[in-house]
Structure 1
């Protein structure tokens, strides 16, 4: 019987939960706004993780700043994850901004916008 989930997927799910707590409660940097951890992509060998985040209420410069500050705090975040998770080696983390929410909102706006009415001549048939 095959496993339903790969180990990297299970570890990524747990990492996402732990990262959300670490970013919200343990990082005391007032420059970092309200961060949501959207996804964690973990390599198959569990050595590196790409963490996709969203900073609510941040403009484009604020997004870049939040990513920079989180990547600067990556060693601290990694050590906190090591304390919370039972792993042989804790993956190296790199933060990226997830713009899928903004793209989804833009698509939603485009779908809701009324189409300009076109004058269609009525024909016989």
Structure 2
């Protein structure tokens, strides 16, 4: 994708997030809704808007229904906020990548032997300390500090 389309996608995501947070009064959209990414077509006439909804499947479906019913309002607001030749028609989809990543992490942790946690606890080593030490090292390396 070109840098121009990437910038437009980012601007669409930011403006949609702002409109959802401040101007939409639909009770179906009262939950925690995050716009994870926007993918516009090369001609910028259509865009897929991926959302993540905190809640069960019923709440996710209600949020999608609420977004579909507010689609014309959202498009009109985007047209007023972003100066584009054509305002894209937006399709709203659930972003399942977060749920997929969570599922993969659960599978990885399920395969990990339970005694490794006990062994680390006996040695006084926790994963949190190991990760924070690695983070401090990588940050200092990045900034050129010793």
| TM-score class normalised by the smaller sequence | 0.7 to 0.9
Q: Take 1:47 and 1:65, find their aligned partners in 2: how far apart are those partners?
A: 26
Among candidates 16, 20, 29, match of residue 19 of structure 1: 16
Cα displacement (A) at 1:6 = 3.2
Question: What is the aligned length?
Answer: 113
Higher relative contact order (CA 8 A, sep 6+): 1
Structure 2: 5+ residue stretches without partners = 115-146
CA RMSD across the alignment = 1.8
Q: Which has the higher helix share?
A: 2
Q: Take 1:114 and 1:42, find their aligned partners in 2: how far apart are those partners?
A: 39
Q: Take 1:28 and 1:13, find their aligned partners in 2: how far apart are those partners?
A: 24
Alignment-derived partner of residue 81 in structure 1:
78
Among candidates 20, 23, 40, match of residue 38 of structure 2: 40
1:45-76 deviation line (CA, Å, top 9, x unaligned)? 000010000011x2112111111110111000
Cα displacement (A) at 1:80 = 0.6
Q: Take 2:113 and 2:43, find their aligned partners in 1: how far apart are those partners?
A: 53
Structure 1: 5+ residue stretches without partners = 118-125
Alignment-derived partner of residue 121 in structure 1:
none
Q: Take 1:92 and 1:5, find their aligned partners in 2: how far apart are those partners?
A: 20
Distance 1:7 1:116, change over 3 A: closer
- Taking structure 2 as the reference length, the TM-score comes to 0.72
- Taking structure 1 as the reference length, the TM-score comes to 0.83
1:94 and 2:91 matched: yes
Cα displacement (A) at 1:107 = 0.7
